[in-house]
Structure 1
């Protein structure tokens, strides 16, 4: 039996992490907030609202409702100009799709940003189910995103493979009862991802079998 595969998006399918954090830095600069490397590591894989709550706790920021459009516009401009899919991800998705494999996305990104990521890179055509971070009650490391994706596919979560690149996402996949594969994209060392069931240097259909 081939197992359904549920992918994280940012840092797994698309090379978006540096672009997204550049947008955050631009949006927070007027408030005197400088983002540290440790904060990037701690917040990667978490929802936008989680990240906002973190920064709002150490600086006087406007409400999330006021801040979000500014951040979203900066993300849009950067993504439309520079966002690319990882070559191994695009090739792997093409092959999995051609073989009729059930594949989905479970991303911490809000719906607008997730749609932009997938459509601008041409990856949106591959997925039967796409779940965004603002569509569940709890973001990663809670299992909600992965459970929602499995439900959308109509499968038992325990039969699924989750593909991640960050500790929070690995914890979410494990909490959902899935087999979790971590891909090394440079944001973390293998030792940081050791809670995954397997760690791979790149995506291939064989690595996800």
Structure 2
């Protein structure tokens, strides 16, 4: 069934920010006494929040300053300003949604400032402006509140909305919100889908075909 609304995650679905972010976090946390590789960062924390990372790092013995969250955002933002690749096929999927008259929005756990840095240079910020939702302003995924708010603002019921995410937090948020979810797992394989009910896909074209706009 072709939906009336497609909700996109940002990092890992629209833009490939995660390798840069993982490397920055790994180096900084290791410097503060919590030795963790970029791959471990990705496995343990991808899809979560920086505040959540700070809490766990301190539990593991990291000596983080009180202003660590602000500092690490500054470092991450500086790295991302050097350029962020767009996920293959996502622009084509967005334009196909537009041709089909499908509404679209972004639901990300990241802050709005980070999304503007990563989405503006490639035109995605303008394409979604006014329909970008952050877990810093709404309950972050896996809570369903952000998705429910998006649907309410768009005037679309659960049966007529779909989510595209690449992490369990998003899969579970979609499940809790009662909407169909595509799990974009091109890099990580379908194992992280688990029992979330998300439909594993490895390309954006698969999603276009599944929702009847390809």
**TM-score, normalised to structure 2's length?**
0.86
Unpaired runs of 5+ residues, structure 1, are none
1:60 aligns with 2:63: yes
In structure 2, the residue matched to 1:134 is 136
Q: Deviations over 1:67-92 (max 9, x none)?
A: 12321222222212131111311221
**Cα RMSD over matched residues?**
1.9
In structure 1, the residue matched to 2:7 is 6
Mapped partners of 2:28, 2:155: distance in 1? 39
Mapped partners of 2:20, 2:202: distance in 1? 22
In structure 2, the residue matched to 1:97 is 98
Mapped partners of 2:186, 2:22: distance in 1? 16
In structure 1, the residue matched to 2:209 is 206
Task: Find the residue that maps to 1:162 and give its secondary structure.
Answer: strand
Task: Find the residue that maps to 2:106 and give its secondary structure.
Answer: strand
Unpaired runs of 5+ residues, structure 2, are none
Residues 25 and 35, structure 1, Cα contact 8 Å, conserved in 2 = yes
Q: 1:55 to 1:4 in 2, by over 3 A?
A: same
Q: 1:179 to 1:109 in 2, by over 3 A?
A: same
1:76 aligns with 2:47: no
Residues 167 and 193, structure 1, Cα contact 8 Å, conserved in 2 = yes
In structure 1, the residue matched to 2:51 is 49
Task: Find the residue that maps to 2:97 and give its secondary structure.
Answer: helix
Q: 1:148 to 1:42 in 2, by over 3 A?
A: farther
Mapped partners of 1:60, 1:158: distance in 2? 47
Residues 163 and 181, structure 2, Cα contact 8 Å, conserved in 1 = yes
**Number of corresponding residues:** 205
Runs of 4+ in structure 1 off by over 6 angstroms are none
